[in-house]
Amino acid sequence: MTIFVLFSLLFISMLMGMPIAIALGMSSVTTILLFSNDSLASVSLKLFEATSEHYTLLAIPFFILSSAFLSTGGVAKRLINFAIDCVGHIRGGLAMASVMACMLFAAVSGSSPATVAAIGSIVIVGMVKAGYPKALAAGVIANAGTLGILIPPSIVMLVYAAATEVSASRMFMAGFIPGLMMGGILMLAIYVVARIKGLPSQPFPGFGAVAISGGRALGGLMLIVIVLGSIYGGVASPTEAASVAAVYAWLVSIWGYRDIGPLKGVKWRNAGEGVLSALARNTFSLPLAMLQSFWHPEVRSVVKDAAKVSIMLLFIIANAMLFAHVLTTERIPHMIAESIVAWGLPAWGFLIVVNILLLLAGNFMEPSAILLIMAPILFPIATQLGIDPIHLGIIMVVNMEIGMLTPPVGLNLFVTAGITGESMGWAIRAALPWLGLLLIFLMLITYIPSISLFLPEYFDKINGYR
């Protein structure tokens, strides 16, 4: 009865159009009041613990803030130019460069919709002007944008780490090779389609142009080295690396590229020109510019937008953790685990069930909420069947990628429709042909654990030798 009431309230509330965070909280509180022996005080306690005890979750606002600065600060444009210079000369190279740019931006943002918005708003128009079908351009970006939650650092991976208490650093390591593999699969498919449809290519600009565009994009590329290098090297935790990333993104956007803030439009005339003289000619002084870099209207707007997204996501996480608390208190995960184990399902059969459940859930719920609800249920079953928790985490993340492309709550579809000015139905049809690649990739990730576990196990061996 408790299980029935809890999930019935949740789904009825969602079907009525109630926000997912409110639906999770209301169904949890109602179940505690009517059917549980748990104290009502546990509600406030759990909501407090959700945002204070999970140190890993502190990384989320920092990564969102760094992504906001980089999205606004022109980093995406420079990454796109670098990607075009690298692979634009191949048949279908502009679409392949878009995928490459999504992979690079994913490594500095951690968000799938942010990747689609930042890269897609620039490259879709460019591809159409170059002779690509608009539907193909939009479908490629919608699918490539999902790499935002697979290539580390990933906000969704942080949520899984908080829900299951596995190492966030190991999750980041596990997502690196699958992310590169998925990007490579998309680029290979684009090349095949380009050969069939005769899509255009651009002349190779030369290694000098590649070096120049790479130098211009270095500000964004260095963030990848700083974040992943510090985490993989054991220098910093994901939360510490995220805080450094936020400060670095602020410096690059305002002082490096000068695309936003008080120094917007300031150009250094030549290498010998000093910063102070350049600022003086633009009616700024260095101290004033430093002060304005904190409270300038454009900077305040970026921080406000990042704060809104962070608060919304953390509110969802807090209510989802309350929901997970009710599940645990009522021993629902244990009962489900005992039932599935009693069925005698092998590990491969259980993983089929996992994928079906997650693909269905991805149609209706936001990824963070799905992970916080499903992970406490699936985690104990997986460990009993000998499935590595990190492998399970990557499987869940890839399922969340597919959920970004399935209606009615496919976030990437909404962003793509907004960028192109087309209907939601058009965006679905554009993304559908490429969705099959993600499903094939899901099967590979599910049944070849070494794809996910190679890098974490390799670093474990290295640390064991020390």
What is the per-residue pLDDT for 10? Answer: 82
In a domain, 352, yes or no: yes
Token digits of residue 208: 């000098």
Pick left, alpha or beta for residue 110 (phi over 0 → left; psi -120 to 50 → alpha; otherwise beta).
left
pLDDT tens digits, one per residue of 333-370: 777 777 777 777 788 888 998 999 898 888 877 788 88
What is the per-residue pLDDT for 181? Answer: 94
For residues 407-413, average pLDDT? 79
Res. 260: pLDDT tops 60: yes
Virtual CA dihedral for 31, 35, 37, 43, nearest 10 degrees?
Answer: 10
289-315: string of b/e by CB count within 10 Å (b at 16+)? beebbeebebbeebbeebeebbeebbb
Phi and psi, residue 261, nearest 5°: 90, -170
Return all residues near 220 (Cβ < 8 A) that are at least 6 apart.
Answer: 70, 75, 78, 79, 104, 105, 108, 252
Question: Residue 399 — pLDDT band, cuts 50, 70, 90?
Answer: very high
**The most confident of 168-182, 246-260, 303-317, 343-357, by mean pLDDT:** 168-182
What is the per-residue pLDDT for 438? Answer: 92
Under 8 Å between Cβ of 386 and 342:
no
Res. 287: pLDDT tops 80: no
In a domain, 348, yes or no: yes
Return the DSSP state at 236. Answer: S
Question: Residue 270 — pLDDT band, cuts 50, 70, 90?
Answer: very low
In a domain, 266, yes or no: no
Looking at the 3D structure of the chain, how many domains does it have?
A: 1
Question: Residue 294 — pLDDT band, cuts 50, 70, 90?
Answer: low
In a domain, 275, yes or no: no
What is the per-residue pLDDT for 271? Answer: 40
For residues 3-30, average pLDDT? 82
Phi and psi, residue 211, nearest 5°: -65, -40
pLDDT tens digits, one per residue of 163-205: 888 888 899 999 999 999 999 999 999 999 998 888 878 888 8
Token digits of residue 303: 């921080």
The residue among 270 and 207 whose pLDDT is bigger is 207
pLDDT tens digits, one per residue of 368-394: 888 888 888 888 888 888 899 999 999
**The most confident of 71-80, 82-91, 362-371, 386-395, by mean pLDDT:** 386-395
Which residue range is the domain that position 342 belongs to?
A: 2-261+296-465
Task: State how far the Cα of 240 lies from the Cα of 231, in Å rounded to an integer.
Answer: 9
Return all residues near 43 (Cβ < 8 A) that are at least 6 apart.
Answer: 28, 29, 32, 322
For residues 34-55, average pLDDT? 70
For residues 157-163, average pLDDT? 88
In a domain, 139, yes or no: yes
